[in-house]
């Protein structure tokens, strides 16, 4: 006899009693999604996992600390049976059948009256997939659909949920795979993209043909003039009712002037949202094998912009104080001023022998790294032709990285 196809339906469980019998791994996987529904859940089990114990802070979850007893399903709308005792599972499902309550069984799909789909959620869309008992296939199909939704490949351009405004998106350190899921989806939904030169360039090739792409590097020269024009464009396009993505390298607020753009939007009454990105100050050393902190080696790391040299009247950095720190120092935008920076750090107390590394084009196919010490890193960079964009890491973490370097 051919197995009948199930009828998929979305259960509204808010405020309704749900019973889960069993406190092991299956229940642990089912409970988070059930709690999201707002159901009133009674968990019946003499023991529970530490993770489930952590969920008991949710007032919608009550632990009945004993085994199942007849009558436990009174008033329930939905039952999940998740014990490793077949006899108990039979008792629970028999009572559920008698009371006409849909029951999921983790041990015997054929004897259940409901099946749990491989499910996931994106924005206001919930995905549920039943693979005829093949859980791996169900999960794979679900994941593929969610990935398409998250990246914008499925239905993004025609989405009814598109909200006009400005989105300040951090693109990550360079590798297009390191942008956040939300950042990639917003690019797929964008009407206008204003991109920095350090933004992941392959992502721009994926933009829909009718997207207005504005290269921020080609706007009027001069930092102030350029920023004013970027602000004007963001506000202007958003006021036209468009979805505007301001795509930056790294994180919008880490030396990216992103908050200046947020202020401009706020002053113009334009809705804006920040989408954080993976900052290169942490990620680039990480992919190069250098941890910015390590137990027993450093308890702090400091990220510093080196675009203004020590002693300059516009500098806001206390270089003598930085020289006294023992932790990791990460320098961004410091290639040009590195000789003066290293000289200043040494003069104010940082050992000239402190290990140092310079990483160019981090996370990209052409990534290069050299190591030296604080006294010699600037010369080594010049000799090896390491130019901007590059990140300099100073500290003992550079030395311990040799423990795992191939």
SS3 260: helix
Tokens representing residue 384 in the block: 């090896």
Q: Which residue has the tokens 């990620």?
A: 283
Q: CB burial class (10 A; 0-12, 13-18, 19+) of residue 225? A: exposed
Residue 106: count other Cβ atoms within 10 Å of its Cβ.
Answer: 21
Beta bridge partners of 369: 359
- The DSSP H or E segment spanning 29 is helix 25-36
Cα dist from 71 to 94, 95, 288, whole Å: 11, 8, 60
User: Which of 284, 344, 292 lies closest to 315, judged by CA?
Assistant: 344
What crossing angle do the helices spanning 223-239 and 258-268 adopt, rounded to 10°? 40
Specify whether 196 is catalytic.
yes
Q: CA–CA separation, 200 vs 180, rounded Å?
A: 12
- Pairs from 227-232 (Cβ < 8 Å, separation ≥ 24): 227/257, 227/260, 230/194, 230/261, 231/260, 231/261, 231/264
Find the largest Cα–Cα distance for the chain: 86
Please identify which of the residues 42, 175, 191, 196 carries the catalytic annotation. 196
- Judge whether 218 counts as a catalytic residue: yes
- Active site residue: 158, 161, 210, 218, which one? 218
Cis peptide, bond prior to residue 389, ω within 30 of zero: yes
Identify whether the C-beta of residue 317 lies closer than 8 Å to the C-beta of residue 304: yes
Could you give phi then psi for residue 239, rounded to 5 degrees? -70, -15
User: Where in the sequence numbering do the catalytic residues fall?
Assistant: 196, 218
């Amino acid at each position: 006899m051919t197995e009948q196809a199930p009828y998929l339906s979305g259960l509204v469980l808010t405020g309704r009693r749900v019973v889960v019998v069993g406190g092991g791994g299956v229940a642990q996987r089912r409970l988070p999604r059930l709690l999201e529904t707002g159901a009133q859940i009674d968990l019946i089990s003499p023991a529970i996992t530490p993770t489930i114990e952590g969920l008991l802070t949710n007032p919608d979850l009550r632990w009945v600390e004993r085994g199942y007893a007849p009558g436990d399903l009174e008033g329930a709308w939905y039952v999940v049976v998740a014990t490793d005792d077949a006899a108990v599972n039979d008792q629970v499902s028999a009572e559920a059948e008698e009371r006409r309550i849909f029951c999921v069984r983790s041990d015997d799909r054929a004897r259940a009256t409901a099946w749990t789909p491989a499910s996931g959620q994106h924005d206001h869309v919930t995905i549920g997939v039943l693979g005829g008992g093949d859980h791996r296939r169900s999960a794979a199909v679900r994941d593929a659909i969610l990935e398409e939704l998250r990246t914008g490949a499925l239905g993004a351009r025609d989405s009814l949920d598109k909200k006009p405004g400005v989105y300040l998106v951090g693109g990550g350190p360079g590798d297009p795979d390191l942008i956040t899921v939300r950042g990639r989806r917003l690019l797929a939904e964008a009407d206008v993209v204003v991109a920095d030169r350090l933004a992941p360039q392959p992502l721009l090739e994926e933009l829909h043909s009718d997207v207005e792409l504005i290269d921020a590097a080609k706007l009027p020269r001069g930092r102030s003039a350029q920023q004013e024009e970027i602000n004007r464009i963001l506000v202007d396009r958003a006021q036209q009712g468009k979805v505007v993505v301001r795509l930056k390298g790294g994180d919008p607020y880490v030396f990216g002037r992103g908050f200046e753009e947020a202020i401009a939007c706020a002053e113009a009454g334009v809705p804006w949202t920040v989408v954080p990105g993976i900052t290169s100050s942490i990620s680039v050393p990480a992919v190069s094998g250098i941890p910015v902190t390590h137990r027993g080696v450093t308890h702090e790391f400091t990220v510093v912009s080196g675009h203004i040299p020590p002693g300059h009247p516009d500098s806001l950095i206390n270089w003598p104080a930085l020289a006294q720190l023992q932790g990791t120092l990460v320098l961004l935008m410091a290639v040009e001023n590195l000789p003066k920076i290293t000289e200043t750090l040494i003069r104010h107390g940082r050992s000239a022998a402190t290990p140092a590394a310079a990483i160019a084009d981090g996370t990209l196919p052409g990534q290069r790294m050299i190591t030296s010490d604080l006294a010699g890193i600037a010369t080594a960079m010049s000799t090896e032709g390491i130019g901007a964009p590059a990140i300099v890491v100073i500290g003992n973490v550079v030395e311990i990285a040799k423990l795992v370097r191939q």
